[in-house]
Amino acid sequence: MGVVFTKTQKGQDEITSRAGGLTPRQRRVLIFVDGKRTIEELHSMLQADDLTHTLGMLEEDGYIAVGALTTPQGKTVAAPPTPLPSATAFSPLPDSPDPLRLQQARNFMTNTLNTFVGSLGASSLLDRIGEAEGHEGLRALYDEWYHAMVMSREGKREAEVLRTKLLQVI
């Protein structure tokens, strides 16, 4: 199923007032959200590697909301009454801390930065990842990790795949 986002009242207000402090990129994505286009259509129009991340941020900040879903046959159906998980939603954490999962997330973030950005280009972030306490600490560094990935040439190509993999363990 495809997701169709609509602007909330906050999103409409942002278009007219520019009071929310959105970046030009975020504002452009917000303008393209019209309640008719699916995420796939937005991807083809905006040609952006970080579109899913930007949509997730706009949704979490209350500028957009899921308005409808489309079936594989192209039929539009109303959004379910229960909210869907955010596009950048972290996976639920287990009730008791899982040190293996935490180490997997830490290793994934470290290895991808070393591979795509380089240890010199991300040394400060690598240090903070190594020192982060628990999943909450790593989750606080997620946006910075993602930004570093999309700013590198090779990382930009793989950013969506890597983001999806990290969200499964972080």
Residues 22-49: tens digit of each pLDDT = 888 889 999 999 988 888 888 888 876 6
pLDDT of 84: 47
* CA R_g for the chain: 17
Which amino acid, residue 143? D
pLDDT of 63: 93
User: What is the rounded distance in angstroms from the CA atom of residue 165 to the CA atom of residue 163?
Assistant: 5
- pLDDT one-digit tens code per residue, 89-145: 677 777 788 899 999 999 999 999 999 888 887 889 999 999 999 888 998 898 888
pLDDT of 14: 92
Annotated domain spans of the chain: 2-78, 99-169
Looking at CATH, the fold of the domain delimited by 2-78 is given as: Arc Repressor Mutant, subunit A (1.10.10)
Question: What number is the average pLDDT over the span 138-153?
Answer: 85
Residue 81 banded pLDDT, cuts 50, 70, 90: low
